[in-house]
């Protein structure tokens, strides 16, 4: 029963976050170095996993999961933006 409530809450949260994230995609500002974003991703992924585990036990932590997911998404986008494009020499 708790899993159903968590799934419903997560689905509702995603419906709310999708339009906001699409609108903010153009406003993404990557103010740090690639190395800083890479290190932050490692830490954020650990924190997000802990938040997911807590949300499974207590639905009050579902908001934390949404927060970490949005921060991870932005950090990953900055890593993609800052990663130098290399092509194979032919």
Residue 8 is encoded by which pair of tokens?
A: 């419903």
pLDDT: is 2 or 24 the higher one? 2
Q: Which backbone phi and psi does 28 adopt, to 5 degrees?
A: -70, 125
Non-local CB neighbours of 87 within 8 Å, separated by 6+ positions: none
Rg (CA), the chain: 16
For residues 74 and 26, give the distance between their C-alpha atoms in angstroms, rounded to a whole number.
11
Q: Is the pLDDT of residue 66 over 90?
A: yes
Tell me the pLDDT of the chain averaged across its residues: 79
CA dihedral 48, 28, 38, 13 (to 10 degrees): 10
Residue 14 has pLDDT above 60, yes or no: no
Q: Is the pTM here over 0.75, yes or no?
A: no
């Amino acid at each position: 029963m708790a899993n159903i409530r968590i799934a419903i809450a997560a689905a509702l949260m995603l419906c709310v976050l999708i339009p906001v994230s699409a609108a903010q995609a153009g406003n993404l500002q990557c103010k740090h170095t690639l190395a800083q974003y890479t290190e932050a991703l490692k830490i954020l992924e650990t924190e997000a996993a802990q938040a997911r585990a807590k949300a499974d036990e207590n639905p009050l932590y579902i908001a934390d999961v949404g927060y970490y997911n949005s921060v991870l998404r932005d950090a990953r986008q900055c890593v993609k933006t800052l990663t130098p494009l290399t092509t194979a020499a032919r």
